[in-house]
């Protein structure tokens, strides 16, 4: 059974909560004159397949419509002129579907592959029509925002992932109609390469090899989803159906890369950063004016939290994080270790201890070595000196920073 993918629903729910934006896009209606103008332009620049003369194409259209539950949908198929690009696209206007072939797609594909492509395109309408059209609204919103040159990069990444998941969904629709993964995969590869003959088995093995040898591989192409991702996704879905979903999500999204955050991972990183800073700045002696000022540059509404603790999930998240995220957190520690000279060596000593406790020791050591231009020997001397300064804060009343962890026990100085 075809169902919208979790990412589609996340994007939909995200924008539904933005009531004004959602209502604006939901209210947009296709006018009759827009449809008439579009049809006129199509007729000027395409060859329109005739239902009688080109009955084979429309037989495939009707088969796909029946399998997808779109029997009442009017569909017209066209061949674009003046282009050599091999492609197929669909436009859905005022409850009418218009499929446009370009290049030599009808000569390149065999009967089953052509069936798969027509089914793939019509599955776009299946998605747009589901959930009272909410996913089509969500798509228009994210594409409009991502297309604005002033928009945050996270929206572009969200749009890219939304499109990729849409292609994954439509590949499943094609599979539902043809009942086999081979024409779905071979049509995909033929359109991308222009080859007359390809092997679905060889291409699937190629995709498997990529994922077995390259840790963290994920889809990165901006304008078109990577075909080996789609080929492997449809093969996994063929083998496991809904049980394949977690593996497909991991394959598409991979680890959270600092340079490739969608709006959801951006929010997750913000929450991780806030907790990280609250843990780092938990010692009372660390809360100087300069330190507080720096914290508020990260978060305007930053506040200290004496109750925050480094639970297992937090430590695991950091341990499994992408290298770019670990480096990002390491530089935050360096920022705070250097910001207030009056605290002397104490923040550095605490940062070294803190980094070890949360599995960032090697990362922080490497950053300190690089930014302070230290040799290995000088780095060790720096660590010993600063950690000694931190340990000396035992003259005053001891302050338990993290209950049950002797590594992270420090003391509050009695004065300057």
* pLDDT averaged per 10 residues in sequence order, the chain, 416 residues: 93 96 83 71 90 96 97 95 91 89 95 98 95 93 93 94 96 97 96 94 88 60 64 94 92 85 95 96 93 96 91 89 95 96 92 93 96 95 92 58 48 37
Question: Residue 286: which H helix or E strand, with range?
Answer: none
For Cα atoms 129, 131, 136, give the angle at the middle one, nearest 5 degrees.
Answer: 55
pLDDT score recorded for residue 37: 78
Q: Please give the model's pTM, rounded to 2 decimal places.
A: 0.86
Q: Where are the domains of the chain?
A: 6-253, 263-411
CA distance 16 to 22: 6
pLDDT score recorded for residue 209: 84
CA distance 398 to 94: 72
Helices and strands in the chain, H and E counts? 19, 6
> Strand (E) positions, 294-354?
none
Answer for the pair 221, 227: CB distance below 8 angstroms, yes or no.
no
Answer for the pair 6, 249: CB distance below 8 angstroms, yes or no.
yes
Answer for the pair 364, 327: CB distance below 8 angstroms, yes or no.
no
Range 65-85 burial, b when 16+ CB lie within 10 A, else e? bebbebeebebbbbbbeeeee
DSSP state, 396?
S
Q: Which residues pair with residue 78 across a beta bridge?
A: 48, 100
DSSP state, 99?
E
pLDDT score recorded for residue 182: 97
DSSP 3-state of 144: helix
Pairing mode, if any, of strands 398-400 and 409-411? antiparallel
Pairing mode, if any, of strands 46-48 and 398-400? unpaired
CA distance 170 to 176: 10
DSSP state, 332?
H
pLDDT score recorded for residue 226: 79
């Amino acid at each position: 059974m075809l169902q919208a993918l979790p990412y589609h629903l996340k994007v939909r729910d995200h924008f539904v909560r933005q009531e004004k934006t959602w209502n604006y896009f939901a209210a947009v209606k296709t006018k009759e004159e827009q449809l008439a103008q579009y049809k006129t332009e199509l007729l000027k620049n395409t060859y329109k397949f005739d239902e009688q003369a080109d009955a084979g194409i429309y037989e495939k259209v009707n088969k796909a419509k029946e399998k997808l539950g779109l029997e009442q949908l009017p569909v017209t198929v066209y061949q674009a002129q003046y282009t050599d690009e091999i492609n197929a696209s669909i436009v859905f206007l005022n409850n009418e579907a218009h499929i446009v072939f370009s290049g030599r797609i009808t000569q390149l594909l065999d009967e089953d592959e052509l069936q798969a492509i027509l089914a793939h395109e019509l599955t776009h309408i299946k998605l747009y029509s589901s959930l009272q059209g909410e996913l089509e609204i969500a798509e228009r919103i994210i594409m409009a925002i991502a297309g604005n040159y002033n928009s945050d990069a996270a929206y572009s990444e969200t749009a890219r992932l939304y499109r990729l998941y849409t292609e994954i969904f439509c590949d499943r629709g094609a599979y539902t109609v043809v009942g086999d993964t081979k024409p779905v995969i071979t049509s995909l590869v033929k359109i991308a390469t222009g080859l007359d003959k390809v092997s679905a088995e060889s291409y699937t093995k190629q995709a498997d090899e990529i994922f077995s040898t390259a840790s963290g591989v994920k889809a990165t192409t901006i304008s078109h989803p990577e075909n080996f991702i789609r080929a492997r996704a449809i093969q996994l879905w063929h083998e496991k159906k809904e049980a394949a979903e977690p593996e497909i999500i991991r394959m598409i999204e991979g680890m959270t890369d600092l340079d490739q955050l969608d709006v959801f991972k951006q929010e997750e990183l913000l929450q991780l950063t806030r907790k990280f800073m609250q843990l780092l700045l938990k010692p009372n002696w660390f809360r100087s004016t300069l330190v507080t000022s720096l914290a508020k540059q990260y978060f305007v509404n930053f506040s200290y939290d004496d109750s925050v603790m480094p639970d297992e999930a937090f430590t695991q998240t950091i341990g499994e994080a992408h290298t770019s995220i670990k480096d990002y957190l390491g530089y935050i520690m360096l920022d705070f270790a250097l910001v207030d000279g009056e605290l002397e060596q104490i923040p550095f000593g605490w940062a070294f201890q803190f980094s070890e406790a949360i599995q960032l020791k090697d990362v922080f050591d490497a950053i300190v070595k690089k930014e302070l231009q230290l040799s290995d020997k000088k780095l060790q001397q720096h660590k010993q000196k600063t950690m000694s300064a931190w340990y000396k804060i035992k003259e005053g009343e001891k302050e338990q920073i993290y209950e049950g962890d002797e590594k992270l026990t420090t003391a509050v100085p009695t004065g300057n």
